[in-house]
Amino acid sequence: MIVFPNCKINLGLHILNKRADGYHNLETVFYPVPLMDALEIITTNKNENASSIGVQFSSSGAIPEIPAEENTCLKAYRILKKDFPQLPAITMHLHKIIPSGAGLGGGSADGAFTLTLLNKKFCLNLSFEKLMQYALRLGSDCPFFILNKPCIATGRGEILKEIDLNLSPYKFLLVNPGITINTAHAFSNITPAIPDQPVKEIIRKPIESWKEHLTNNFEKTVFIKFPEIKSIKDNLYHSGAIYASLSGSGSSVFGIFRKEEIISYTFPEHYFIKELNCKLK
């Protein structure tokens, strides 16, 4: 059985305050984007050797350099295996397309889609609410990929409210320069503050007004440390973007363009660049 975990972008991102548990309260809009990894899970044959956790895991493509125990797909299997010991040994292959450490939630999507795939394949009969609870144990933005619809996210990013936001008349240009930004370090350089206008109000306004009002708090510190990333945003506006922004804590930058517009741009050859429709198929 194969699924295709998609990524997300952030439309606006305000860091409001630091919590007693060390996390930050934030507000943002998560919007699903049709840039996808591929995840396959099959039951392991009895004569094959799975690992000690019951998974024969392999990966290909843009593979992040992380220890196996930090892989969200394996974490998802372990979480379910603890509560459902009847889960059989499996063979899992992940093909990575979504850049890692790029503010696109690729790893979170892989973990959340693993939960839903295991639930379906092995008839665990988990409710939507229960899947959301398991996803939160994987990471703050993992529950979004269970819902996987445009929504306002608050709290740590796990409190989700679906919104009516249709960007299908537009297209994205997604640009990643191959720079990995440590999320914890990015948060440490942020000065939390309550904005004059919340994201949920700004997002209701015409998209042409977003350039002046819809901000990502990480841009100031990220752009100072990595001027190359600021140049990407500037270039997107120069190419005719209606709105452009850093996604998450970076390093990916996206521009929103009218669908009929032919985008002319110049970026270094090693950049990851994708032109995408503004809705999932």
Known catalytic residues are 8, 141
Which residues lie closer than 8 Å to 257 by C-beta, 6 or more apart? 170, 171, 172, 173, 239, 240, 241, 242, 263
CA 14 remoteness from chain centre: 17
Dist. CA 91–CA 265, nearest whole Å = 42
β-bridge mates for residue 243, sequence order: 256
Closest of 3, 1, 8, 259 to residue 145, by C-alpha: 8
Contact 166, 204 (CB under 8 A): no
Contact 255, 249 (CB under 8 A): no
Residue 174 sits at φ, ψ, to 5 deg, of: -105, 125
Dist. CA 183–CA 110, nearest whole Å = 18
Dist. CA 234–CA 66, nearest whole Å = 32
Dist. CA 75–CA 115, nearest whole Å = 10
CA 78 remoteness from chain centre: 22
Which residues lie closer than 8 Å to 230 by C-beta, 6 or more apart? 219, 223
Q: How far apart are the first and last CA of the chain?
A: 19
